[in-house]
Amino acid sequence: MSSLERIERIKESGGWLERYRHDSASCRCPMTFSIYLPPQAEQGPVPAVYWLSGLTCTDDNFRTKAGAQRYAAELGLALVIPDTSPRGEGVPDVPERYDLGQGAGFYVNATQAPWSEHYHMYDYVTRELPALVEAHFPLVPGLKSISGHSMGGHGALICALKNPGAYRSVSAFAPICHPTVCGWGEGCFGAYLGDDREAWKAYDATELVAAGAAPIPLLIDHGTDDEFLPDQLYPQDLETACRARDFPLTLRMQAGYDHSYHFIASFIGEHLAYHAAALK
């Protein structure tokens, strides 16, 4: 396990917002993540909420736009915020596209060249990063929940559904609920995973629920004015799959909200309170 290089430390809401760089075994390149340690971490262990961001984002978007640290400080939650993909020289990319390559890891383990050498964000988020955090931050033990936005909402859902018992709770903002049937998902899954659409289903929340994933309550918010709602997100498909299995889903359609961080900032306090209750 590689050592961490701290590259930033900022006092915020009584705690510390820190950023680290390390050599990733999963992604085979340097990776960056941020962690917020609330003031309660100075007194004893605190649980963590992992946040997965969406297309084009780095760890910086959430930590600067969502206003989450104030709520995390009140609730005694650590926040762990990874990047959305491997990056750097030698890491494949499609610079003319925002929805494939760097900034668009889609939280899968790629099996197809040239992506398969570096694009293993699923292993990074579910295995490598938690092990790294728990080893280097003894006051952040293995008690954790997960959340995310858009592509990261998709990531949060599949991480929880594919790893029963690993997370106490899961929530998502505007997640891509059925990526195997939408343009974003088809483009990335075809590139990263190949032409076998059956293999894609292993990274699709709607398909995982329909195939018998162990129940975990899902909290999902969508904005009714989200420009991507009709053609990319498909919450109705996940709702249908959950209803067929009596799978616990709270799907909230928030009137007038769009896909932006204004939407996330409006409800992040409720989501973190939801996770804090599950993490007690």
Splitting the chain (280 residues) into consecutive groups of 10 residues, what average pLDDT does each group show? 86 98 97 98 97 98 98 98 96 96 98 98 98 94 96 98 98 98 97 98 98 98 98 98 98 98 98 97
Structural domain span for residue 242: 4-279
What is the count of structural domains for the chain? 1
**For position 171, what pLDDT does the model report?**
98
**For position 210, what pLDDT does the model report?**
98
CATH of the domain at 12: 3.40.50.1820
244-250: long-range contacts, CB 8 A cutoff, minimum separation 24: 244/210, 245/209, 245/210, 245/212, 245/215, 247/209, 247/213, 247/215, 247/218, 248/215, 248/216, 248/217, 248/218, 249/217, 249/218, 249/220, 250/217, 250/218, 250/219, 250/220
Catalytic positions, written as ranges: 150, 226, 259
**For position 1, what pLDDT does the model report?**
44
* C-beta atoms surrounding 45 within 10 Å: 16
**Total residues belonging to the chain:** 280
**For position 3, what pLDDT does the model report?**
81
**For position 195, what pLDDT does the model report?**
97
Alpha-carbon span 124 to 257, nearest angstrom: 31
**For position 145, what pLDDT does the model report?**
98
Q: Where would I find the H helices in the chain?
A: 59-65, 68-75, 121-123, 129-136, 151-162, 183-193, 197-200, 205-210, 235-245, 261-279
Beta bridge partners of 6: 20
**For position 2, what pLDDT does the model report?**
57
pTM comes to 0.97
